[in-house]
Amino acid sequence: MTREKGPGKNKTEKKTNETEIREKETPEEEIREEEELEAKRRGLVSSLAYLGIAEEVLNALLLVPRHEFVPARLKSVAYVDTPLEIGCGQTISAPHMVAIMCDLLELAEGQKVLEIGAGSGYNAAVMGKLIGKNGHVYTVERLEALAEFAKTNLKKTGSENVTVLLEDGSLGYSDFAPYDRISVTCTAPEIPEPLLEQLKPGGLMVIPVGEYFQELVLIKKDKNGEIFREVKGRVVFVPLIGRYGFRDR
């Protein structure tokens, strides 16, 4: 019995030593990985210039590390221009769609923004960069697991001007209304009345509308409270679930 333990112990010691060596190499590997991801981010943002996106929006995309807002197993593909699964049957929007929606909203320093559908927090982080330290994003998420995921991601990336709220997003969030801008990242059967009410006169809202056939709609509320709608193209989003959205499936 004693002889059998000896070789096993040596193997254990060898594995331990190998692990320690790998751990010592980890910081260098992490630096190299970060450099590669940053290069991919720059490449992605450069590829979006053809869309005619405002330079301010492109700069915001450069400042927010998308790979910190996706599951670890998807980090290597974080800068592919496509939606990615983030759990709970939800997705993080493709970077080009985030860019388009931010561009349509004409986000500026000091604005107060309501987002419906926090997801992993990425879109809110980008908007947070565009409205600066004097602005604030209130992002509403109905799924607790995602709300916590978003909070974690926003904290580790230093997004201090974003607040995540666990609520029914189809109701908006009246506590901080009215909002200069409203961004909806899930498709609604029709534009929820509470969101129209919470939009400030002179404000803008962008929202996908439809079920099987979806359109991205830009809403403008003039100073007299009159609502104007402009369709900006066909899109595909997960459904808005809630009182003024679709039923839970």
List the structure tokens of 208: 């996908």
List the structure tokens of 147: 């709300």
List the structure tokens of 216: 């991205």
Strand order in the sheet with 179-184: 162-166, 136-141, 112-116, 179-184, 199-209, 214-221, 227-235
List, as one string, the DSSP characters of 46-65: HHTGGGT--HHHHHHHHHS-
Query: Residue holding tokens 């910190």?
Result: 68
Q: Which of 46, 47, 76, 93 is catalytic?
A: 93
Query: Residue holding tokens 């929202």?
Result: 207
Q: Element (H or E) spanning 204, and its range?
A: strand 199-209
List, as own/partner pairs, every contact residues 152-158 make where C-beta atoms lie below 8 angstroms and the sequence separation is at least 24, other chains included. 153/68, 153/69, 153/120, 153/121, 153/122, 153/125, 154/121, 154/124, 154/125, 156/68, 157/64, 157/65, 157/68, 157/69, 157/125
Catalytic (active site) residue 120:
no
Active-site amino acid positions: 93
